[in-house]
Structure 1
Amino acid sequence: MALKFYDLTHAFHQFMPEWPSSPGVNLSVSKYHARDGVFEINWDGIMHRGTHMDAALHVTENTPDVAEIPLWRLCGTGVVVSIPKEKWGLVTIDDLENATPAIEEGDIVMINTGFHRKWGDNDDYFSYGAGIDPEAAKWLVERKIKLVGFGHQANDHPLATKLVDHGLGPTHPHLIEEYKRETGRDPKEDFPEWEPAHKTLLVDGGVPGIENVGGELDEASGQRCFFLALPWRWEGGDGSGVRIFAIVDPDQEFRFETGD
């Protein structure tokens, strides 16, 4: 049977949804066919927009940039696993251990929490989204996962970011009070560290993390795939937009091996 191809990438465009920080992405047309005979767009913004890959340098000084991510980590066999989560849900070790297909050592892993369906300029996606438990991030590193992608807003839970009382935050102090009302606890009690999954995956484990996986994520879920996700070869780059392809053998017989 013919191979099936899935695009796991959100479209990149002017006014696309953006993680609530600054600066934004701005596109402008500098040349037009009718006037200039060619069409040309200027782009101004940061790389951490849309479906993108973080480098270790993004969160820790004197660590590898995006050009230093070894190529063997960016392609290979793995799984798309469905782990549905609701508001402020956590992807846990139990979720990963019970995922279907089973996550194997050396896999690339794409995690579908269902939040990619809420992709938009809204709190439902960016403020109330899911995230991975720091211990589950360690679980992925211990199993020598090559690369991980998340179908939600970031490598970390939104309450482990500057949206609340971490780093440069809180930029969204209303989330602190809302969490207290719903749980009876301060978010700092449940999420005491600033972006711990970023540091565990990218810095401690060397595992690239892709944020805002989307596109045909539902269609690819529950399957073992071959993945390709290539960022720019940008020296000094803290991250890069990526386009992710998942290629499926309907007979589930193909497996691609890469060495480090």
Structure 2
Amino acid sequence: MSLVDLSHQIWPGMPKIPILPEVERHQITSIADGAPMDISAITLALHVGTHVDAPSHVVAGGKSIDQIPVERFEGTAVVAEVDRKPGEEITVDDVLAGGPAPQRGEFLLIATGWSEKFTSPDYADHPSLSPELAAWAVQRGIPFVGVDMITPDLPVHRRGKGFDFPVHRTLLGAEVLIAENLTNLDGLGGRRVRLRAFPLAILGGDAGPARILAEI
């Protein structure tokens, strides 16, 4: 058995969507300054870096991240390797061609290779999941979908007027959890892995920063 860390590190100024505040780190006490211990704090929007979205992110009255049973964050996951360009949609056929067909109750991770662009401006222009794929995941009984992109929906600059986040709404509306900003999926395409994706249990949180691991 070996573990693959699918999580990005967190640091001040790390990539994020434009509407979110910058990540900041504050040193409260320092051994170097004579304090008995180092204590620091961070300012972190819940949707920066690797995290798991809760239904309340888009569903009024939906469950917050602390209300999701911990059993929902661990399971067998199919990793589908997909090759799509910026602005292109990832379809059901792409997923089925990229790995074994997920069975009811299995998680789905979509590996596009986009995490390699994480620190580049190109990271913001990515493929997206088709609304039909989101509906298929719900119908198939997939409880968790993870992507190595900033969002499974269209990139910010490709959204038209009245854009309503159809992939988020379809998945989270059916309590299918979403993990965003995964990394290190290269080499796992076409495989089944054991996923552990435990977010921080933030009271009332619409998401939770997570350390997500794949066991192979």
* TM superposition score category, shorter chain reference: over 0.9
Cα separation, 2, equivalents of 1:78 and 1:38: 41
Identity %: 31
Cα separation, 1, equivalents of 2:44 and 2:150: 18
Residues 95 and 110, structure 2, Cα contact 8 Å, conserved in 1? no
Q: Given the alignment, which residue of 166, 176, 198 partners 2:168?
A: 198
- Partner residue, 1:62: 61
Secondary structure of the 2:115 match is helix
Secondary structure of the 1:10 match is coil
Cα separation, 2, equivalents of 1:67 and 1:202: 15
Cα separation, 2, equivalents of 1:141 and 1:235: 26
Q: Given the alignment, which residue of 219, 222, 228 partners 2:187?
A: 219
Residues 12 and 22, structure 2, Cα contact 8 Å, conserved in 1? no
Cα separation, 2, equivalents of 1:86 and 1:78: 24
Counterparts of 1:76-115 in structure 2 under 5 Å? 76-115=75-114
- Partner residue, 2:30: 32
Query: Are positions 1:141 and 2:111 aligned together?
Result: no
- Partner residue, 2:177: 208
Residues 9 and 51, structure 1, Cα contact 8 Å, conserved in 2? yes
Deviates more, 1:237-246 or 1:192-201: 192-201
Residues 77 and 193, structure 2, Cα contact 8 Å, conserved in 1? yes
Cα separation, 1, equivalents of 2:128 and 2:109: 13
Cα separation, 2, equivalents of 1:201 and 1:222: 23
Q: Given the alignment, which residue of 4, 7, 15 partners 1:6?
A: 4
- Partner residue, 1:166: none
Instruction: Give unmatched runs, 5+ long, in structure 2.
Output: none
Cα separation, 1, equivalents of 2:196 and 2:141: 18
Query: Are positions 1:157 and 2:126 aligned together?
Result: no
Normalised to the residue count of structure 2, the TM-score between the two structures is 0.93
Cα separation, 2, equivalents of 1:151 and 1:25: 20
Aligned residues: 215
- Partner residue, 2:197: 229
* 1:242 positional shift: 0.6
Normalised to the residue count of structure 1, the TM-score between the two structures is 0.78
* 1:62 positional shift: 1.0
Compute the RMSD of aligned alpha carbons: 1.7
Cα separation, 2, equivalents of 1:52 and 1:74: 12
